[in-house]
Amino acid sequence: MTDSTLDTNLRKYAELVVHAGVTITEGDLLHFSIGVSDDPNIRKLAHYVVESAYKAGAKIVDLNWRDEVTAKLRVLHAPDGTLDYVPDWFVANIEAYADAGVARLVMVGRDPQLFAGLDGKKITTMQRASQAATAHLIPKLIDENVWCGAAVATQPWADMVFPDLPEDERVPKLWDAIFAATRVTEDDPVSAWKAHQQDLIQRWKHLNAKQYTALHFTGDGTDLTIGLPQGHIWQGGGDDHSSGKRFSPNMPTEEIFTMPHRERVNGTVKATKPLSYNGNIIDDFSFTFKDGRVVGFEAKQGGDVLQDLIDTDEGAKHLGEVALVPHSSPISQSGILFFNTLYDENAACHIALGRAYAKTIEGGSDMDEDQFMEAGGNTSQTHVDFMIGNHDVDIDGITVDGDREPIMRQGEWAF
């Protein structure tokens, strides 16, 4: 990829996240976070995003450079007993953004091994404190605000994804993969993205009409039944804001998803891809569920990290999301293992431990926590996706009469 082509694609990427990601229109407020880097292309992309947002009518663009290494430095060097400290002004700042209806765009390229080799208890203490302090803001941020997460190519991430390439070729290769996955390489990425959204919408409309009572997953090492609550809602291809605009919480996205019933998940499920969680890699792992709760797990790598995850709170032992992705998705067909959930979850069907989304059940946004739980929803400080799909996975929908209907066969849509 030449410098000229890269520059063109960075401009197109900026247009895409502004016009189809956070969907900026006249008078909007944008809080834009991007990973700090020595790479001039990331700074260039940041400026293109700011420029595009103002041209789209943004009233203000608040650019925030984020350096994830500072979190590692805190774990390594902060005084004992201070990692659970979350200042009031930190929470107040987030709350102010939420109350003001500020659109949020986050573009990062996390190092999959940022916390590798560090004291896991210290990492857990720091992250749980932040999660607990901001937990009351999550429903507003997710259900009432416009937001989008997208990626930038960084050297540590590229080194993990393409270790066999010469070092100077890794970041350009990762940029190529990011552009392909988000349809930036199309002549008109925004139009291509919106056409893709419509395809996903037609998929979830079909499943919403079916209202299956459960899904049955079978495959190598997997025999799992996921109950679905009455009135569950499938979504995908973006989300609708109260203002009427459609935005894209994740770029890329290939999934349609809904909410499992927190007490009706039974069987064993095997992950089909490694999980990068909190700067550590978890690999070759599986879970066993009974009545919705994790009752056992195995992991050949990162078992201690997995234990910390499910110990976050009671909700972390239950599922909050089930998502369907065909094996033929562009990210799957690329053959690239990204070690990044934003990308890897869009290569395969996946499920998530932790918090469920209120919008994935009828009336969920108007329920209090007790009502949500009674309806089958799950609450937690965390939400972590892991991949369970590949070319061997079959999925049946189970009707209220107990009949089975094919949803996926060998990883592809059966309807």
Contacts of 227 (CB under 8 A, 6+ apart): 213, 214, 260, 261, 263, 264, 265, 292, 376
Residue 103 pLDDT more than 80? Answer: yes
Output the DSSP codes for 238-258.
-EE-TTS-EE-SBSS---EEE
Q: Give the pLDDT score at 375.
A: 96
Compute the distance between CA of residue 11 and CA of residue 184 in angstroms, rounded to an integer.
Answer: 9
C-alpha dihedral, 392 to 274 to 382 to 358, nearest 10°:
-30
**Structure confidence by residue, pLDDT tens digits, 176-210:** 999 999 999 999 999 999 999 999 999 999 999 99
Helix (H, G, I), strand (E, B) or coil at 266: strand
Q: Give the pLDDT score at 137.
A: 86
Whether the link from the prior residue into 274 is cis, omega within 30° of 0, is no
The residue that leads in pLDDT, 386 or 276, is 386
Q: Are 386 and 204 in contact (CB under 8 A)?
A: no
Helix (H, G, I), strand (E, B) or coil at 179: helix
Q: Are 358 and 364 in contact (CB under 8 A)?
A: yes
> For the chain, what percent of residues have pLDDT higher than 70?
100
**Structure confidence by residue, pLDDT tens digits, 291-316:** 999 999 999 999 999 999 999 999 99
CATH number, span 3-185: 3.40.1830.10
354 φ/ψ sector (left φ>0, alpha ψ -120 to 50, else beta): left
Closest to 53 (Cα-Cα) out of 146, 180, 176: 146
Q: Give the pLDDT score at 1.
A: 61
Domain boundaries, the chain: 3-185, 190-413
Q: Give the pLDDT score at 250.
A: 93
Compute the distance between CA of residue 355 and CA of residue 194 in angstroms, rounded to an integer.
Answer: 28
Compute the distance between CA of residue 390 and CA of residue 196 in angstroms, rounded to an integer.
Answer: 21
- CA angle centred on 24, ends 27 and 59, rounded to 5°: 30
> In angstroms, what CA-CA distances link 118 with 66, 67, 75, 84?
21, 18, 8, 17
**Structure confidence by residue, pLDDT tens digits, 105-141:** 999 999 988 998 899 889 989 988 998 899 888 877 8
Q: Give the pLDDT score at 413.
A: 96
> Pairing state of beta strands 239-240 and 235-236?
unpaired
Q: Which helix (H) or strand (E) holds 7?
A: helix 3-16
Average pLDDT of the residues in 314-340: 94
Compute the distance between CA of residue 320 and CA of residue 314 in angstroms, rounded to an integer.
Answer: 12
- Mean pLDDT taken over the chain: 94
Compute the distance between CA of residue 23 and CA of residue 148 in angstroms, rounded to an integer.
Answer: 9
Residue 221 pLDDT more than 80? Answer: yes
Q: Give the pLDDT score at 14.
A: 98
The separation between CA 290 and the C-alpha centre of its own chain, rounded to angstroms, equals 25
